[in-house]
Amino acid sequence: MKALSINNLKKEYAGGLQALKGIDLEVSQGDFFALLGPNGAGKSTTIGIISSLVTKTSGQVKILDIDIDENHSLAKKKLGVVGQEVNFNQFEKVGDIIRNQAGYHGLSFKDARENAKYYMQKLDIWDKRNDQARKLSGGMKRRVMVAKALVNNPELLILDEPTAGVDIELRRSLWDFLTEINNEGTTIILTTHYLEEAERLCRNIAIIDSGEIVENTSMQELLTRLEEETFVFDLKNPLQTLPKNLGYAAVLENPQKLKITIGKGQGLNTIFEVLSDSGIQISSMRNDTGRLEELFMGLVDSNLNGSER
């Protein structure tokens, strides 16, 4: 069974802007799926249509094989959405916000209270339950959003840039939490501008640009398409000039930072040998940019060039 099936989905706004040009998308049950794209690509419109915040022009959307037009109520029961912006009444108490959301889904008072408590504890906001939401930090508000989206135990959770503008500590704790609930069976669709986030969390990926899906594959398959990768080496001893016979495209960023780009299929062992032979000692090494980011830019650029043609 597919957690989400989108068939020929189109959205044309008043004024003629075609936000979605007939996209097809399938997300398997249990998947952790990334929906990426530049600003204005159509990600939020797609999510808006799935969650009934945006009216589609045409096409079909099914949540766990339930058509949202035919059985809107049942389809929605299986869905949780974390929107891009804070969308709760900030004058209410945190506990009330989350319990009320459970109530809107028809949960009993007891279940609503228990679910709210469970997710507030999981997301470390239990001690804030009696605080007015407006007094929370941005990161805390994000946690409230996530707890609110999960309080009805949805089978499909959609997160629209959940970590935008939050500190790294929260981001990482949210990653761990999302991985945990995904392992427990919740299908997750994530949109984000942090590509390392998608690379780290997601198994499958679709890239949307100008209202069209330009790539839809597994993360692993996509990453194998990288032609070259750049690594940054932190040097133990300062280096004033680069040795001439390194045999790699190398740039000395500063006396203690060396960047080397290697092609697909080239092993790292030989680099270490060459550096060692040149008397260069390495203290640490990392990727220069996210591998996914390079691919993403390539795909979006080629789509842009195609559009211009």
The contact set with other proteins (CB under 8 A) reads 13, 48, 51-55, 72-77, 79, 81, 83, 85-91, 96, 100-101, 103-109, 148, 152
Nearest approach, Cβ of residue 248 and other proteins (Å): 51
Q: How far apart are CA 193 and CA 195, in angstroms?
A: 6
Distance CA 134, CA 52 (A): 26
Helix, coil or strand: residue 206? strand
Look up residue 165 and give its amino acid: G
Residue whose pair of structure tokens reads 């339950």 in the numeric block: 129
User: Nearest Cα to 136, choosing from 192, 89, 173?
Assistant: 89
Min dist. Cβ of residue 83 to other proteins (A) = 6
Residue 11 pairs with which residues in a beta bridge?
20
Which tokens belong to 205?
A: 């990926």
| Residue number, 60 or 132, with CB nearest to other proteins | 132
Residue (of 199, 197, 217, 196) closest to 207 by Cα position: 217
Minimum CB distance to other proteins, residue 212 (Å): 20
DSSP state, residue 128: G
Joined together, the tokens standing for residue 64 give 């766990």
To other proteins, the closest distance from the beta carbon of 117 in angstroms equals: 17
Between 115 and 216, name the residue whose CB sits nearer to other proteins.
115
Q: For residue 217, what are the CA distances in angstroms to 76, 191, 220, 225? A: 27, 15, 8, 11
Q: Which residues of 244-277 are buried (b: 16+ CB within 10 A; e: fewer)?
A: eebebebeeeeeeebebebeeeeeeeebeebbee
- Residues 81, 158: contact at Cβ < 8 Å? yes
Task: Give CA separation, 254 vs 65, 230, 240, 241, in Å.
Answer: 56, 16, 8, 10
Q: How far is the CB of 104 from other proteins (least distance, A)?
A: 4
Closest distance to other proteins from the beta carbon of 143 (Å): 16
Q: Which is nearer to other proteins, 136 or 260 (CB)?
A: 136
Strands in 2-12's sheet, in edge-to-edge order, are: 18-28, 2-12, 58-63, 66-67
Strand order in the sheet with 156-160: 79-82, 156-160, 187-191, 32-36, 204-209, 212-218
Residue closer to other proteins (CB basis): 97 or 222: 97
Least spacing, CB of residue 113 vs other proteins, in Å: 12
Q: Least separation, in Å, of the C-beta of 308 and other proteins?
A: 28
